[in-house]
Structure 1
């Protein structure tokens, strides 16, 4: 038997950077971990709603039992939120899991998968690991993402899946729902997966499209706005026939009971979500005003609390390290396919005191 010790498709993969963890940065620079602030990952800096914490804690009392196979309470709550059929929902342990499972369910080796770049890298990675041929189309301006090349590719290629990230990670653009609907209508043989992980707190996304067009799938997550990144819950809304195909490959019990209970409680806490929405808007405006006063820094894209910064003076890796020495962790955006040659950092804003520390650190390097 020959062991496959190195899958060639993994050779060039750049993973989440372990060297940017709070513990690693603190050790490298001789800092107290409690003083290090992580702005590199897009999360809700205010944590989960109190009700979600209580619900998860209560669910632990039955931790010796397997969770409900269909996650009935969560399925009902999400179906009500989006006014969709319960059978139109597909759940995974975070959107990374959902993306992987859907690619495996709806493609075969050698199929073509279309992505725009720069964008969330897991589409390209998971499609490649599946053995798909990935067509990655660049935008007119690399630090601003668009779909201008999609029609030409769809016209000449037989595309199994097309991924559209809206709002786009890391550049922040949102694509018009009717633009997506038009592409899906013209190319009914292609499945269009619209990743709306970053859309909350906005409510005018593409969620209504799967009812109109069976080849449109919308992805959402509890990791960002709902403050449950560590509990790993993502989901897709799709035509029930497509969901049934994907369910065959979904591992049973792939969501933990405390995670499910926390998600149900988080959906119900509308007051918490309203406070977060107001704070994100205030802090984004505060940060943008501060950046305008810093020569050598500019904002090229933003959405909610996610900001893409352009640098004039430093290379991204150098700037990230200078900030890390001050106890500030940011994301070097050269890890995104399409941004390798550009001087960009991605930051995700936190509360006012933390954001003031970020601004002060940026001033020192600008």
Structure 2
């Protein structure tokens, strides 16, 4: 495919001379570091190595991720959660008060929030009531103003993966940067589009350690793309955007892929159990199929069910205000005990509704 992302980069970003940190100017092995104004004595903690700045480009971690996923290190950007990559992509390619992004509601809300923060117009191409991509609507909204297209797959809050042919159609016909957010793809790994980054220079795939890896607290997101796009993200990122503790924990996590896969199997088994038991409840109208670690559930009285669960100490997500999600709650798949408590509480709510 003939596509050069450099042509979409903002002119001020092209002209920008990036900040260079002390660790940018030196790489390799050394015994004495007197270049970054660090406290040579270290932090006042036992066995602390907190006084040194981390690798600003996370080379060891990228090599480990590259080996794990079968990509090249130069195709990887690491950030403070996927949100950082989203924000940087908007700042690289979106001209404030001029350009636009395309989103497909109902979907993850941070695409719109980040666009608005960057003073970019948000154009919507709503999904069908069955939560499928409407190509005719997308085609009508892909104006010259649109620079980036966001696709969440598996989608949040609906849980469905978009067919690869829809993504390929976008990549080949839009002429835009297409960002596929695969935060939940570990729950449906055979449906990833990551391998397409070698064929399509306008594709960016986002992933995270927050979901399947159970490590939301370390705030580590990944972006995979053509090295040209990765170059622009690295040019404008903060000098040490991924802290050393996060890098260390991520390296340790990647030594435990088998344990992570065991947890995945438990979550998928619990998702099946939860879906089956939710569908037995008379107060439930529909449980949507899901490729993620959550279920979108349509209730007869969703808001009342939400409050009843909350009063019982069980917190789910109210999605009733989102497009096509009337009377819907989004329920994360928990442990076996947590899921049983949820069903028991909903059974109590069902009895309460029947007695009124």
TM-score between both structures, scaled by the size of structure 1: 0.78
Match of 2:243 in 1: 256
Structural mapping, 1:218-237, within 5 Å? 218-237=205-224
1:321 aligns with 2:304: no
Q: Which consecutive aligned stretches of 4+ in structure 1 deviate over 3 angstroms post-superposition?
A: none
* RMSD of Structure 2 on Structure 1 (CA): 1.9
| Equivalent residue pairs, number | 302
1:127 aligns with 2:111: no
Q: Larger radius of gyration, structure 1 or 2?
A: 2
Distance 1:228 1:252 in 2: 23
> What secondary structure does 1:236 align onto?
strand
Q: Contact 2:150 / 2:178 at 8 angstroms: preserved in 1?
A: yes
> What secondary structure does 1:171 align onto?
coil
Distance 1:197 1:60 in 2: 35
Residues 60 and 144 of structure 1, relative CA distance in 2, 3 Å threshold:
farther
Match of 1:348 in 2: 332
- Deviation at residue 60 of structure 1 after TM alignment: 7.6
Distance 2:264 2:349 in 1: 30
- Which whole-Å deviations, capped at 9, do the CAs of 1:155-207 have from their partners, x for residues lacking one? x44420000000000101111223211221122x3000000001104322010
Structural mapping, 1:252-331, within 5 Å? 252-297=239-284, 298-312=286-300, 314-316=301-303, 318-331=304-317
Q: Contact 1:151 / 1:183 at 8 angstroms: preserved in 2?
A: no
Q: Contact 1:59 / 1:258 at 8 angstroms: preserved in 2?
A: no
Q: Contact 1:331 / 1:345 at 8 angstroms: preserved in 2?
A: yes
Q: Contact 1:59 / 1:261 at 8 angstroms: preserved in 2?
A: no
Structural mapping, 1:180-195, within 5 Å? 180-187=167-174, 189-195=175-181
- Which whole-Å deviations, capped at 9, do the CAs of 1:299-321 have from their partners, x for residues lacking one? 12423321111011x243x3222
More moved, 158-167 vs 293-302: 293-302
1:111 aligns with 2:99: yes
> What secondary structure does 2:266 align onto?
helix
TM-score between both structures, scaled by the size of structure 2: 0.80
- Counterpart among 347, 351, 355 of residue 363 in structure 1: 347
Distance 2:91 2:310 in 1: 38
- Counterpart among 186, 197, 202 of residue 183 in structure 2: 197
Q: Please, which runs of 5 or more residues in structure 2 have no aligned partner?
A: 1-44, 351-356
Q: Which has the higher contact order (CA 8 A, sep 6+)?
A: 1
Q: Contact 1:69 / 1:252 at 8 angstroms: preserved in 2?
A: yes
